[in-house]
Amino acid sequence: MSYRPFVLLVGFSVVVCLGLGCSKDQPVTETLVESEFADQLLAPMNYLGNIAKQAPDAVYNPQGSGVRKAVVQTKLPSGESMTLWIYQPDPLPQSKVPCVFIAPAGTMMIHGLGLADGDAPEHLPWVKAGFAVVAYELSGAADAQNSTDIQLKLAAAKFRQAKSGLLNAQVAMAYAREKVSFVDPRQFYTAGHSSAGTMALYVAEMEPQVKGAIAFMPAVDIRASLGIDGITYVQNAEIVPEAGIYVNEISPITHIHRLSQPTFLFIAGDDRPDITGPADSFGKKLRELGSDVTIVRVPSGGHFDPMLDPGIPMAIEWLKMITRTN
């Protein structure tokens, strides 16, 4: 692994350190990591790849200068439909390109979410920089603000059945590996903002196909993000049984020792304390573990705008460096 230089830029700092299908009846108290290992041992060889091969081919349409996009309906092992947005650089280079996988942002990490037009600004810069992008929806879509408790309970159950979004990411990767000829399957990366940043880290921790992770303002400790009142309500309303145990099991900070890939962590100093505090601790712990982590901390801008600028442009340059190393 190559050394990364220490960089200090005006207005913000960059700290760089070198180092090295659950069943639907699964209780949330079961260790999710152990169940994931069991799934891998018991599942037929390349069963997700075989499902992907049966999905329709992607048909790409122009999306402005330098970008073509396809919308594909694939299947989960349960038979449930799942939507992918697949972006292709235009024109394609002669060699295969790295691929960035991005989930939708805006969940409480106890339910899923579909893809929406507002997600595109987080996808397009990567494609224009020469990367392929596969955006994937998360099972158990719900509107946290407007859904009833019953609707949230049903959504949360579907989200857990999809391994808390991990299965959605794995299905997206299987489709890219089997059906997207221009991507390099040795160069899969995860990226995302807010709860999608949480998903990017969690998937990287659990899925060895992922060679690097990029997280903008992620909720690395979902317990802190939901808060005691939120967890208590979710549990007492029977939306998620044993809610505190469950969100601990899917928090990236719980499995930080599994994050061995190069990681880009972006934090805004004036973001919510339940985001910045755990994220700062997460970055510090990664450095203590000797992980290859780049931490960018801007002083202000809130929870969204700094992700678009300077966050994504900086992450693109970082990923170009990583892909050259890989």
Tens-digit pLDDT profile for residues 134-188: 999 999 999 988 999 999 999 999 999 999 999 999 999 999 999 999 999 999 9
Task: Specify the number of domains making up the chain.
Answer: 1
Q: Is the pTM of this model over 0.85?
A: yes
pLDDT at 19: 38
Instruction: Name the residue among 182, 195, 210 with its Cα closest to residue 96.
Output: 182
- 23: confidence class by pLDDT, cuts 50, 70, 90: very low
pLDDT at 3: 35
Per the prediction, the chain carries an average pLDDT of 89
Asked whether residue 198 is assigned to any structural domain, the reply reads: yes
- 45: confidence class by pLDDT, cuts 50, 70, 90: low
- State the average pLDDT over residues 63-69: 95
Tens-digit pLDDT profile for residues 247-263: 999 999 999 999 999 99
Asked whether residue 1 is assigned to any structural domain, the reply reads: no
- 39: confidence class by pLDDT, cuts 50, 70, 90: low
pLDDT at 12: 41
The domain that holds 42 is classified in CATH as 3.40.50.1820
- State the average pLDDT over residues 71-93: 96
Kindly tell me if the per-residue pLDDT of 10 is higher than 90: no
Asked whether residue 203 is assigned to any structural domain, the reply reads: yes
Kindly tell me if the per-residue pLDDT of 5 is higher than 80: no
Asked whether residue 262 is assigned to any structural domain, the reply reads: yes
Domain carrying residue 207 = 7-325
pLDDT at 144: 84
Asked whether residue 161 is assigned to any structural domain, the reply reads: yes
